[in-house]
Structure 1
Amino acid sequence: MTGTVESETELVVLPKKGGRRGPEVQQPRRPGLLKFGHWWWALPGIILVILIHYVATAVGGFFAFTDWSGIGDFAFVGLDNFVKIFQDPTKIGALGNTLFLAFASVVLSNIAGLAIALGLNRGLRSRYVLRVLFFMPVVLSPLAVSYIWKFIFDYNGPLNAVLSAVGLEELAKPWVADPTWAIWTVLIVIVWQNTGFAMVIYMAGLAAVPVEIEEAAAIDGANLWQRFWHVTLPSIRPAVAIATTLGIVNGLRVFDQIMALTAGGPAGATETLATQVYKQSFSLGNFGYGAALALLLTLIILAFALVQQRVTNGRPEES
C-alpha cells in the first residue's frame, strides 16, 4: 500500500521530461554534413570566381608596375607606366572621351528610359508590345547593332539619303569618318541600346509607387509635374541609383561599339581607355603599359560607382 502511494506521488510531483505522459520522444540525430551543405555546395563556384576575377585582377594590377611585353622576363618599373599615361596627350584624350561617353550616355539613356517607363506605366492596350520593342536592342549583340548603325551613318547610307531627299544635302557627311561627329555617332548607338535597360529598371520602380499617394497629391491641387517631382521621383530613388550606377559602369568600359564603328578613329577622336588597353596590350605588345591603363580604368569605375551610390543612397520620405 505504501509503495503504491509513493509511486503515485512520484508520478504527480516528479513528472517525466517533456511535461507529458506517453511514449518517449526519439532524440534527433546529430547534424550530419548535409545539414551544412548550403555553403560548401557553392564552394567550387566561389573558388572559380575568386581565381578568374579577383586573382586575375590582382595579377594584372601587379603587371601594371612592370615593363612586361607579354612574353619572357619583365622588370619592375614602379609608377613609370602611370607617369607615361598622364604625359601622353592621346591617353588624356582617351580619358576625356571615356568620361564624356559615360556621363552623356547615362544622362540621355536614363531620361529617355524614365520617360518611356512613365508612358508605358499607363493603361495602354499596346504597352506589352511596346515594352518588348523598346527592350529588344538590349538583348542584341553590340557588334551587330554597331555594324547596322555604321551602315546607317555611311556616306552613301540611309541617313544621308534622307537628308538629300528633304533638301538638306549640305548636312550630309561621312559621319563616322568625321573627327567632330564620330564621337556623337558612338554616343547615339550607346544610348539607343541602353535605353531599354533603364526603362525596365524604372518600370519596376514605378510599380512599387502607391497609387493613393499620387491621387492624394492630385486632390491637393498638384499638377502633373509637381506630382512627378515631389511624389514619383522620390519614390523611385532606389531605381534611379541602380540605373545610373550600372549606366556609369557600362559607359566607362564601352568597347564593342567603338571598335565596330570607328576602331578609335578618325585620328584618335573616339579612343577610350578600354580601346587603348586592347591596343597597347594585344596589338603593340606593351602588356605592362596596357595593364596600367586597365588598372586606372578600374579605379575610375570604382570611384564613380562609390560616389554615385553615396549621392543617390537613401530612402524615399514617407508622407
Structure 2
Amino acid sequence: MTSVQTAPLGGLARQPERRRRPRTRVSWWFIVPALVAYGVVVVYPSLSGAYYAFTDWNGGPYPSFIGGANFAELVQDERALASLRNTLVLSVAVVIGQSLLGLVLALALNTAIRSRNLLRTLFFAPMLLPPIAIGVLWQFMYSRGGPIDTVLSGIGLDALVQNWLGDSSVALWSVIVTVVWQHVGLSMVIFLAGLQGVPEELYEAASLNGAGRWRRFWSITRPMIGQATTIVLALTMIGGLKLFDQVFVMTSGGPGYATETLSLLMYREVFVLGHYGYGTAIALVLTMIVAMIAFVQISATRRGEVEA
C-alpha cells in the first residue's frame, strides 16, 4: 500500500508570497491626462495672460514688452476706477443681501411645515437658469410700464415707479436685486445643510435653561453653522467680484458707466477695442483682488469659528 502524505499542521503548505507592485507609480499615470488637460486649458493661458499684461499687444504677432505701463494707465483711468468702485459696491451688497436673506430662508424652511420641500425647490430653481436668461427676464421686469411698474401703480405706489435701468442712481441697485434673487437659493441650501447638522439636544437643553429664540440662535446656531457661513461668504464675494453676464445683458454697463464692472471693462478693451495687453492687465488686477479678498475673508471667518 502507498502511504498518503498528510498536510502539515495549520492547514495547507504556505504558498510563496508574491511581491506586491508599488501602487504609487501606477496611480500617478491615471492623473497625468487630467494634469495635461489642466495645464493646457488653465495654467498655460493664465501664464500667457500674465505675460501679455506687460506688453502692448493689440492682436499682432509681435507684442513689445512695456513693463508696468498698462498698470500705470489703469491707475490713472477714471473709467477703470469707476468700474472698480462699481465692482466693490456690487460685491459687498450682494454678500450682505444674499447671505442674510439666504440665512432667513434657511431658518424658516428648517422647520416642520408641510410645504418646506416645495418652497425649497422654488427658491433654488432660479439657480438652475442661465444668467443670460435671468438678465433678459429682469430686463423685461424693469422695463417702463412693465410688471414692476404695473404692480406699484396698482397698489397706489406710483411715486416709487422708476426708470430702473436708465437712471444712474438706481441702475446698479436694480442689477444687485437681480443677482441676489437668482443666487439666494444657493446660500439657502448651504445654510440648510449646516442647520441640519446641529443636534436637537442642544436646543432642548437651552430651552430647559430658559433661553429664548434669539439666545439659542446666537449661542448655538451661529457657532455651529460657522463652516457654512464661510462657504457662503466666500462664494458670494467671488461671484460678485467677477460678475459679468447679468450686467452685460441688462445694462451693458450703462447708463454711462454707472453699472460697468471690471469684468465688463475687460471685455470691452479686449473684444471690442482690441487692446489685448491693457485688457489682460485688467484681468490680472481683478484676479489679484479676488484672491486677496477671498484669502482675507476666509482667514477671518475661520478665526471666528475657532474663537466661537
Give the TM bin, normalised by the shorter chain.
over 0.9
1:156 Cα deviation after fit:
2.1
Measured at CA, do residues 38 and 287 of structure 1 come closer, stay the same or move farther in structure 2, by a change above 3 Å? same
- Find the aligned partners of 1:37 and 1:200 in 2 and give their Cα distance: 39
Q: Does the 8 Å contact 1:65/1:292 carry over to 2? A: yes
AA in 1 matched with 2:206: A
- Find the aligned partners of 1:315 and 1:104 in 2 and give their Cα distance: 22
1:171 Cα deviation after fit:
2.9
- Find the aligned partners of 1:180 and 1:83 in 2 and give their Cα distance: 29
Q: Does 1:277 align with 2:257?
A: no
Corresponding position of 1:248: 237
AA in 2 matched with 1:269: A
1:77 Cα deviation after fit:
0.9
AA in 2 matched with 1:251: G
1:46 Cα deviation after fit:
2.0
Q: Does 1:78 align with 2:67?
A: yes
Alignment RMSD, CA only?
Answer: 1.9
- Find the aligned partners of 1:170 and 1:208 in 2 and give their Cα distance: 46
1:28 Cα deviation after fit:
3.8
SS in 1 for 2:165: helix
Q: Does the 8 Å contact 1:234/1:317 carry over to 2? A: no
Corresponding position of 1:208: 197
- Find the aligned partners of 1:288 and 1:53 in 2 and give their Cα distance: 19
- Find the aligned partners of 2:282 and 2:14 in 1 and give their Cα distance: 67
Corresponding position of 1:311: 300
Moved more, 143-152 or 209-218: 209-218
SS in 1 for 2:260: coil
Q: TM-score when scaled to structure 1?
A: 0.90
Corresponding position of 1:10: none
Q: How is 1:132-147 mapped onto 2 (pairs within 5 angstroms)?
A: 132-147=121-136
Q: Does the 8 Å contact 1:102/1:251 carry over to 2? A: yes
Corresponding position of 1:185: 174
- Find the aligned partners of 1:38 and 1:213 in 2 and give their Cα distance: 45
Query: Size of the alignment, in residue pairs?
Result: 301
1:53 Cα deviation after fit:
1.1
Q: Does the 8 Å contact 1:60/1:291 carry over to 2? A: yes
Percent of residue pairs identical: 40
Q: Can you list the C-alpha shifts for 1:160-197, whole angstroms capped at 9, x where unaligned? A: 12222233334323211111111011100110011000
1:252 Cα deviation after fit:
0.4
Q: Does the 8 Å contact 1:277/1:293 carry over to 2? A: yes
Q: Does 1:88 align with 2:47?
A: no
Q: Does the 8 Å contact 1:253/1:274 carry over to 2? A: yes
Gaps of 5+ in 2: 1-7
The one of 24, 27, 40 equivalent to 1:38 is 27
1:154 Cα deviation after fit:
0.4
The one of 71, 91, 105 equivalent to 1:102 is 91
- Find the aligned partners of 2:13 and 2:249 in 1 and give their Cα distance: 75
- Find the aligned partners of 2:169 and 2:16 in 1 and give their Cα distance: 79
Q: Can you list the C-alpha shifts for 1:67-98, whole angstroms capped at 9, x where unaligned? A: 10122211111111111111011111100111
Q: Does the 8 Å contact 1:238/1:315 carry over to 2? A: no
1:273 Cα deviation after fit:
0.5
Q: TM-score when scaled to structure 2?
A: 0.93
Corresponding position of 1:237: 226
Whose radius of gyration is greater, 1 or 2?
A: 1
